[in-house]
Amino acid sequence: MLNASTLALVLANLNGSRQQSGDNLVCHARDGSILAGSCLYVGLPPEKPFNISCWSKNMKDLTCRWTPGAHGETFLHTNYSLKYKLRWYGQDNTCEEHHAVGPHSCHIPKDLALFTPYEIWVEATNRLGSARSDVLTLDILDVVTTDPPPDVHVSRVGGLEDQLSVRWVSPPALKDFLFQAKYQIRYRVEDSVDWKVVDDVSNQTSCRLAGLKPGTVYFVQVRCNPFGIYGSKKAGIWSEWSHPTAASTPRSERPGPGGGACEPRGGEPSSGPVRRELKQFLGWLKKHAYCSNLSFRLYDQWRAWMQKSHKTRNQHRTRGSCPRADGVRREVLPDKL
Amino acid sequence: MDLRAGDSWGMLACLCTVLWHLPAVPALNRTGDPGPGPSIQKTYDLTRYLEHQLRSLAGTYLNYLGPPFNEPDFNPPRLGAETLPRATVNLEVWRSLNDKLRLTQNYEAYSHLLCYLRGLNRQAATAELRRSLAHFCTSLQGLLGSIAGVMAALGYPLPQPLPGTEPIWSPGPAPSDFLQKMDDFWLLKELQTWLWRSAKDFNRLKKKMQPPAAAVTLHLEAHGF
């Protein structure tokens, strides 16, 4: 309520406008009739955007993503503009393809240069002001990523109840790049959210997962990193994970006093020295339950052990997974059971 | 030649005909030779070595030039320096370069850069700097020879300078001290960028020439299992 001679008014502590069209401000006469009105846009000037990250898919383009300051909540329409410039040369460029991978992202499809760094920043503007992020400097060759490996297949390894074989294909775009590829595999049991990660799978397109639970459905994913681009010793950026592929391990068929599937754990009555040795070995193998991590020495030890006990027939077969030594790639092919 | 203020190397004594007439590298005997692979590898290794050498040379030289040239965040706009061979290249263009063009661009770039570097050496104030520069020039000359070797092995002709494009010395007004230093700065920058690019060029060539790696497959014979 104001008296008749008031000419100005300060409204303090207003909440931000809930909609883009603003809020109505209406002046009423004492009798309720409307005297005048206006539209009020209540908001905040933008805060400094941050956390810019960029990547080049298959060395063809550049996509960048950032986080707006103050969670982007300015209550006003705010324009975000990704700018980039080749260091030493060139003028400022503005990225045109907005919302490439979400609301705060942009895609630069062409006219990119190599061997000189880019300076990249984001400018946020609205009617109350503007803000500029810190400048990110990067080289295209340092932020290369690729597609996830296509054709991921997971299959059983004969009747082995604790192993699954994963095979995939190198992303076809890599062929053009001549990079080395590094892979990572992750797998989880069907009703779990905990992934187990197999790291450091270099330049192979298959892997044997060991130490798994029998009779269980597993989900497996693979992703790829273009490592050592044109001779550098650096890793690129990991691709997205491939679509999950599911497979199940065979049910345990071992007869035993407990009946049903049982894992070699302590406390079971021994049924022969070889069985015991095998259980011990399996127990050891479970601890090293990822492929290509068995050193060649261990693999030889295992072979020697196998030859030692080859006279004793046993329905269980154990195979190591894809060991590697000194860059020589060896693939252990399962014999028919 | 268009003389611009700050374009000092265009005016340096640069009778570099000797560079353009390197002794012809004898063609490799094709029968039984390992191919261009080893010489590509050698060239690649040389670029890495030179890159390493340049790092210490540039550090010393920029300190000699003094601030702001030796400041790490010195970020000047690139004006002038038009005659320097540019390593920066469009992504698509670089990827689609054929081997001959790739090698030729490298050869021509280093020929020019060596020429300018020799000019720099002539003016360097301290004996130590002259020594370092001379040593680097020798290494760079080695790199040029190595590239020429690769081109010969692959049957590509060495680029011959077109008449009129050879850098010739023309006396002119001395540029300002600051602009001269700016030119020196860009020369070192461009050398750095070229060496970094060449490592990638030669690595790409190396991979292309490599025969596919043979996979060793081990069959396990299960005795009695």
Domain boundary among A143, A167, A196: A143
Do residue A77 and residue A127 come from a single domain?
A: yes
Q: CB distance from A39 to chain B under 8 Å?
A: no
* Residue B83 pLDDT grade (very low, low, confident, very high; cuts 50, 70, 90): confident
Is there a contact between A231 and B217 if contact means CB atoms under 8 Å apart?
no
Q: Chain A closest CA to B129's CA: distance in Å? A: 26
Q: Does residue A258 lie within any of the structural domains?
A: no
Predicted local distance difference test score (pLDDT) of residue A199: 87
Interface test with B, best of A91, A93, A115, A179 (most B CBs within 10 A): A115
Q: What is the DSSP letter of B36?
A: S
Strand partners, A286: none
> What is the rounded CA–CA span in Å between residue B38 and residue B146?
11
Do residue A127 and residue A164 come from a single domain?
A: no
Q: Chain B closest CA to A85's CA: distance in Å? A: 11
Domain count, chain A: 4
Return the higher-pLDDT residue of B159 and A300: B159
Check pLDDT > 80 for residue B49: yes
* Residue A29 pLDDT grade (very low, low, confident, very high; cuts 50, 70, 90): confident
Return the higher-pLDDT residue of B159 and B30: B159
Check pLDDT > 70 for residue A188: yes
Do residue A138 and residue A56 come from a single domain?
A: yes
Return the higher-pLDDT residue of A276 and A221: A221
Q: Does residue A257 lie within any of the structural domains?
A: no
Q: CB distance from A71 to chain B under 8 Å?
A: no
Domain boundary among A214, A232, A248: A248
Token couple for B17: 């005909």
How many C-alpha atoms does A30 have within 13 Å on its Cβ side? 3
Do residue A133 and residue A156 come from a single domain?
A: no
Do residue A168 and residue A227 come from a single domain?
A: yes
A109, A81 in Cβ contact below 8 A?
no
Do residue A130 and residue A66 come from a single domain?
A: yes
Task: Please give the residue range of the domain that contains residue A158.
Answer: 148-248
Task: Output the CA–CA distances (angstroms, integers) from residue B32 to B29, B146, B207, in the order listed.
Answer: 8, 21, 21
With vertex at residue B124, the alpha carbon angle to CA B122 and CA B127, rounded to the nearest 5 degrees, is 105
Token couple for B31: 């029968």
Do residue A239 and residue A160 come from a single domain?
A: yes
Predicted local distance difference test score (pLDDT) of residue B136: 95
Q: DSSP string of B168-222?
A: -----PPPPHHHHHHHHHHHHHHHHHHHHHHHHHHHHHHHHHSPPPPPEEEPPP-
Do residue A243 and residue A203 come from a single domain?
A: yes
Check pLDDT > 80 for residue B219: no
Q: What is the DSSP letter of A243?
A: P
A252, A158 in Cβ contact below 8 A?
no
* Residue A246 pLDDT grade (very low, low, confident, very high; cuts 50, 70, 90): very high
- Domains, chain B: 34-208 (1.20.1250.10)
Q: CB distance from A310 to chain B under 8 Å?
A: yes
Domain boundary among A143, A165, A194: A143
How many C-alpha atoms does B213 have within 13 Å on its Cβ side? 12
Nearest by CB: A332 against B44, B193, B218:
B218
Rg for chain B, CA atoms, rounded: 21
Do residue A17 and residue A56 come from a single domain?
A: no
Return the higher-pLDDT residue of B16 and B85: B85
Q: Whole-prediction pTM value?
A: 0.71
A62, A85 in Cβ contact below 8 A?
no
Q: Chain A closest CA to B111's CA: distance in Å? A: 20
> What is the rounded CA–CA span in Å between residue A333 and residue A311?
21
Predicted local distance difference test score (pLDDT) of residue A258: 32
Give the list of residues 6+ apart from residue A295 with CB closer than 8 angstroms, or none. Answer: A323, A325
Rg for chain A, CA atoms, rounded: 31
Residue of A nearest to B209 (CA): A178
Do residue A82 and residue A30 come from a single domain?
A: no
> What is the rounded CA–CA span in Å between residue A120 and residue A106?
12
Calculate the dihedral angle through the C-alpha atoms of B72, B76, B81, B84, rounding to the nearest 10 degrees: 40
Predicted local distance difference test score (pLDDT) of residue B33: 59
> A36-61 burial, b for 16+ CB within 10 Å, e for fewer?
eeeeebbbbbbbebeebebbbbbbbb
- Cβ-Cβ contacts under 8 Å, A89 against chain B: 77-78, 88
Q: In this structure, what CATH number is given to the domain that contains residue A122?
A: 2.60.40.10
Q: Does residue A259 lie within any of the structural domains?
A: no
Q: Does residue A197 lie within any of the structural domains?
A: yes
Check pLDDT > 60 for residue A142: yes
> What is the rounded CA–CA span in Å between residue B173 and residue B170?
10
Is there a contact between B90 and A328 if contact means CB atoms under 8 Å apart?
no
Do residue A24 and residue A99 come from a single domain?
A: no
Do residue A35 and residue A55 come from a single domain?
A: no
- Give the residue from A199, A202, A216 showing the smallest Cα distance to A154: A216
- Cβ-Cβ contacts under 8 Å, A230 against chain B: 199-200, 203-204
Task: Output the CA–CA distances (angstroms, integers) from residue A125 to A19, A20, A77, A128, A133, in the order listed.
Answer: 18, 15, 9, 8, 12
> What is the rounded CA–CA span in Å between residue B216 and residue B107?
39
Is there a contact between A331 and B215 if contact means CB atoms under 8 Å apart?
yes
